[in-house]
Amino acid sequence: MSVVSVRESSLELQRQANPLARAWAGTWRFCRRKPLGAIGGAIIVLLVAVAIAAPLLTPYDPTENDIPVRLQSPSAAHPLGTDQLGRDGWARIAYGARTSLFVGMSAVMLGTLVAIVLGTLGGYMGGTLDMVMDRFIDAIMAFPWIMLMLTMMSIFGSSVGNLALALGIAMAPRNTRVVRSTVLSLRDSQYVDAARAIGASHLRIIVRHILPNIMAPVIVLVSVYLGWAILVESSVSFIGFGVPPPTPSWGRALSDEGRRFMFQAPWLATFPGIAISLAVFGFNMLGDALRDVLDPRMRGVS
């Protein structure tokens, strides 16, 4: 064996023994295979970092009014300008990242978790359980999502947590349909039949054979609905049922302040719109790359 081969084998053993080195090697391999996914992940990490470190990134309070400097264009003192109440635009964007990302991620996680549980049970078990769940989902989907949102927000009240809960419940039926259809296509596959033939339990079949193969559509749903949740938050906030003022959020800044002062102060809509666009782009690119990497049917495909 050559010296180079021995050295490569030694480095490989070191990576396997060191979890951090193995994680770094996996991350580097992912970045090389999926550069757009890596860019999307970097954007998401940057947005999350801005949300966490918002107090360190701006000296201004996002809810403090300063009327003498209202509607100032971007300057050294206020890099993203000020709004109609004199609040710093960069502070509103940085702190708004907390609200918008929290609402989007919480709603999508709740809606996806409910969809995975209900869709997997209904699609795999079939029979009366599947029929009852399917009819219940049909009844919910008969109502426009905006009506469901307004009804739930009027019952729960306007707050960030209630908005995330209402969004999650509103998106769960559609996600359940996608998961159920995927499970139905896998339920009678050969490897599931083989697992049944050797005596595997229903739980083992679901965990080992069904769930890994539905991750691809689930990841696509997550990446799509994260952007959708942020946009819906702006729509609901616009009509007064979303994030209550003066809590900063990208959606409220875009649909409320930005819309009313679109021509007088275009930066009020431009910068929140850029933030939303970056978030949607990042989640979509990362989700598409993770789908290709995690889908068992696409492993080994460059």
Least confident of 98-102, 132-136, 218-222: 218-222
User: In b/e form, how buried is each residue of 122-139, taking b as 16+ CB within 10 angstroms?
Assistant: bbbeeeeebeebbeebee
Please report the pLDDT score of residue 240 as a whole number: 67
Does the residue 210 lie in any domain?
yes
* pLDDT higher than threshold 80 for residue 224: no
Does the residue 9 lie in any domain?
no
Does the residue 132 lie in any domain?
yes
117: domain range? Answer: 96-298
186 neighbors 192 (Cβ within 8 angstroms): yes
Structure tokens at 135: 């009819």
Please report the pLDDT score of residue 23 as a whole number: 64
Q: What is the pLDDT of residues 154-195, one digit of tens each?
A: 787 777 888 888 888 888 888 888 888 888 888 878 888 888
Chain Cα centroid distance, residue 216: 15
Backbone angles phi, psi at 64, to 5 degrees: -90, 125
Name the CA radius of gyration of the chain, rounded.
24
SS3 88: strand
Does the residue 42 lie in any domain?
no
Does the residue 206 lie in any domain?
yes
pLDDT band at 4 (very low <50, low <70, confident <90, very high): very low
Please report the pLDDT score of residue 294 as a whole number: 63
* Domain CATH for 221: 1.10.3720.10
Residue 261: which residues within 8 A CB-CB, separation 6 or more?
A: 71, 83, 84, 268, 269
CA atoms within 13 A on the CB side of 281: 13
User: In b/e form, how buried is each residue of 223-239, taking b as 16+ CB within 10 angstroms?
Assistant: bbbbbbbbbbbbebbee
Phi-psi category of residue 245: left, alpha or beta, with phi > 0 → left and psi -120 to 50 → alpha: beta
Does the residue 86 lie in any domain?
no
* pLDDT higher than threshold 50 for residue 242: yes
Strand partners, 82: 88
Does the residue 117 lie in any domain?
yes
pTM of the model: 0.76
Please report the pLDDT score of residue 11 as a whole number: 47
Does the residue 68 lie in any domain?
no
Assign 3-class secondary structure to 102-154: HHHHHHHHHHHHHHHHHHHHHHHHCHHHHHHHHHHHHHHHCCCHHHHHHHHHH
Please report the pLDDT score of residue 138 as a whole number: 83
User: From CA 79, how far away is CA 77, in angstroms rounded?
Assistant: 6
Number of domains in the chain: 1
